[in-house]
Structure 1
Amino acid sequence: MVEGISHITFVVKNLQKTAELLETVFDAKKVYDSGDKTFSISKELFYLIGDQWIVIMENEETVNRTYHHVAFKIKAQDLSDFERKIKKVNLEMKPSRSRISGEGQSLYFYDYDNNLFELHTGTLEERLEAYQN
């Protein structure tokens, strides 16, 4: 039985630059730095965003843009604060997709390695209800 998401890993070109992004935009807390030791396939940092374990690993390969993304739940009244934080670290924002009433609002943005993030105000229950109506 699956209990939920264990962790989310992003492969990035520059650990420190992405670390700044996570700390600035998400108020992420660093809980591990591999330093010179690599127990996995490359240097890595572990963060907590809320209670979610996020891993960033360094690799020189270019990541292509897709709609694959991770969405973090936020409160609607915090949208403008998050937009300001995203702009502070000079990230490209993507226009939100068209939405129906009741499914929440989103901010989409790419990190420095073309990973797509979403900050979303709705819940699964709200979305299912909106889609049903």
Structure 2
Amino acid sequence: MIEGLSHITLVVTDLDRTARLFSDIFEAEEVYDSGEKKHSLFKEKFFLIAGVWVAIMESEDIKNETYHHVAFKISNSEYEIYKKKLEAYDIRMRESRPRIEGEGRSLYFYDYDNNLFELHTGKLEERLDSYNKV
């Protein structure tokens, strides 16, 4: 039986640069830094983001942008705060997809290595309810 989410791993080209982004935007707590050691495939750092274990590994082998993404929940009242924080970084924001009323708002952004993140104000129950109304 699946017990829940174990972790998320992303490949990045610069561990320290991504760590700064994670710390500021996600309020990530860095819990591990391999330094120059490679216990896994690459040098890595581990974070806790809202209780979720997120690992980043350093490699030059990065692919193109996709819509594969990781979404984190934010409150609707903090939407503009996060939008301003993101605009201060040298990263690309992605336009939000068309929305149905009631499903929440989203901020999409690519990190430095084409990993797509979403900061979303809605909940699953709200989205299902809004979909059922149309």
Please state if 1:66 is matched with 2:66: yes
Counterpart AA for 1:83? K
| Separation in 1, partners of 2:98, 2:90 | 24
| Separation in 2, partners of 1:4, 1:128 | 21
Alignment coverage as a number of residue pairs: 133
Partner of 1:78: helix, strand, or coil?
A: helix
**Partner of residue 83, structure 1:** 83
Paired residues of 2:13 and 2:59 also in contact (CA < 8 A): yes
For residue 44 of structure 1, report the CA deviation from its aligned partner. 0.2
Paired residues of 2:63 and 2:114 also in contact (CA < 8 A): yes
| Separation in 2, partners of 1:3, 1:53 | 14
**Partner of residue 108, structure 1:** 108
Partner of 1:16: helix, strand, or coil?
A: helix
| Separation in 2, partners of 1:36, 1:131 | 48
Counterpart AA for 2:82? F
Per-residue displacement from partner, 1:38-63 (whole Å, max 9, x unpaired)? Answer: 21101000001110111000001122
Partner of 1:102: helix, strand, or coil?
A: coil
Please state if 1:34 is matched with 2:57: no
Q: Please list, as runs of the form range in 1=range in 2, the aligned pairs for 1:112-123 lying within 5 A after superposition.
A: 112-123=112-123
| Separation in 2, partners of 1:124, 1:107 | 17
Q: Under a length normalisation based on structure 2, what TM-score does the superposition of the two structures give?
A: 0.96
Partner of 2:113: helix, strand, or coil?
A: coil
Q: Under a length normalisation based on structure 1, what TM-score does the superposition of the two structures give?
A: 0.97
Please state if 1:3 is matched with 2:9: no
| Separation in 2, partners of 1:77, 1:90 | 24
**Identity across the alignment (%):** 56
- Structure 1 stretches of 4+ with a deviation exceeding 6 A read none
Structure 1: 5+ residue stretches without partners: none
Partner of 2:55: helix, strand, or coil?
A: strand
